[in-house]
Amino acid sequence: MKFIKQDPTFLPPAFLEKMKELVPEKEFPDFITAMNKRLRKCFRINTLKADYETTYDKIHTYGLNIEQMPWYKYGFFVNSEEKLKLGNTLEHFLGQFYVQEASSMLPVIALDPEPKEAVLDMAAAPGSKTTQISAHMNNTGVIVANEPQLSRISALQENMERSGAINVVVSRNDGRFFKKMPDCFDKVLVDAPCSVEGTFRKDIKARFIWAQNKVINISNIQYELLKSAFITAKKGATIVYSTCTLSPEENELVVNKILKEESAELQTVKLNGLEASKGITKYRNYEIDKELEKTVRIWPHKTDMEGFFLAKLKKI
């Protein structure tokens, strides 16, 4: 067993069996290859602190081969080895750009926060999406950045300060607390805690603590968080639910349950230039609403990004 744990290509057998149900047989070798491929670094220019063109030109001087994400003006892939780590640059220290995974940028694009709105980021630390929301809102309106774990609050606050996000109020509550505050927010982001299967590419340790029972247990929490989001959202509000995992139990099945219980309408997410896949509507013996095709799956072997799931809903 010790030998297996030293193998960086190890993937949990039960996880692989589940993925064989979801990934077409002819694509499965590519899926395995992608899961063991090193993830590209990515960053986002922070318009709260930086001029777009100036920052773009400055990053070029570090000898990096950078590529703009075709689906997001402010996001960039780094297609070369870093001679100088981006996190050690003056521009990063000054908050002019934020090192952030490409998949992690998608929920805010779907949420489409606008100036002067009231937005809840239900599970905010370390703040990558909160700072992105603030930039989209031009530092107007208010964002409640909620983080239940005290140990992660300091990182959240530090990133708010470094990024110049001044329209943010930090709270420390269980996300389920917000069901006590009905009809408060114009937009709600539930970037839910999950089994992090999508991060296996960069987090080898996560492969060894994965278990199906953990998937089931956390899916119950995810459902309760999304339920709370619907209660605290105003009528007509947008709710975005996202995870960095691939199991349907944590993704389509959570949203499917909400669709049965709430006055909710799934919205189409437009990500031009990204090879996003439709949500799964057939899985084992579960009855899944065909509307779940409107959700978004990011498969590593199709996008060279972290595995991810995204659903955009409207409270009606």
Task: Quick: pLDDT tens for 124-183.
Answer: 999 999 999 999 999 999 999 999 999 999 999 999 999 999 999 999 999 999 999 999
Domain with CATH 3.40.50.150 in the chain: 2-36+103-315
Contact residues for 234 (Cβ-Cβ < 8 A; gap 6+): 183, 184, 185, 186, 315
**What is d(CA 15, CA 300) in angstroms, rounded to the nearest whole number?**
15
Instruction: Choose between 63 and 193: higher pLDDT.
Output: 193
Q: What is the pLDDT of residues 1-58, one digit of tens each?
A: 444 455 788 999 999 999 999 999 999 999 999 999 999 999 999 999 999 999 999 9
pTM of this prediction?
Answer: 0.96
Which range (5-19, 246-260, 290-304) has the least confidence? 5-19
What is the model's pLDDT at position 201? 94
Cα–Cα nearest to 256, from 313, 182, 217: 313
In which band, very low, low, confident or very high, does the pLDDT at 60 lie, cut at 50, 70 and 90?
Answer: confident
CATH superfamily of 2-36+103-315: Vaccinia Virus protein VP39 (3.40.50.150)
Q: Which pLDDT value is given to residue 160?
A: 97
How high is the pLDDT of residue 3?
A: 42
From-to residues of CATH 3.30.70.1170 in the chain: 39-99
- Residue 144 — φ and ψ, nearest 5°? -95, 110
The per-residue pLDDT for range 270-285, each reduced to its tens digit, is: 899 999 999 999 999 9
Answer yes or no: 244 catalytic: yes
* β-bridge mates for residue 291, sequence order: none
Of 42, 184, 194, 244, which residue is the catalytic one? 244
Mean pLDDT for the stretch of residues 217-235: 98
Looking at the chain, the whole-number percentage of residues with pLDDT higher than 70 is 98
The CA distance from 8 to 206, in Å, is 11
Average pLDDT, stretch 217-223?
98
Q: Tokens standing for 85?
A: 């780590």
Domain 39-99 matching CATH 3.20.20.70: the answer reads no
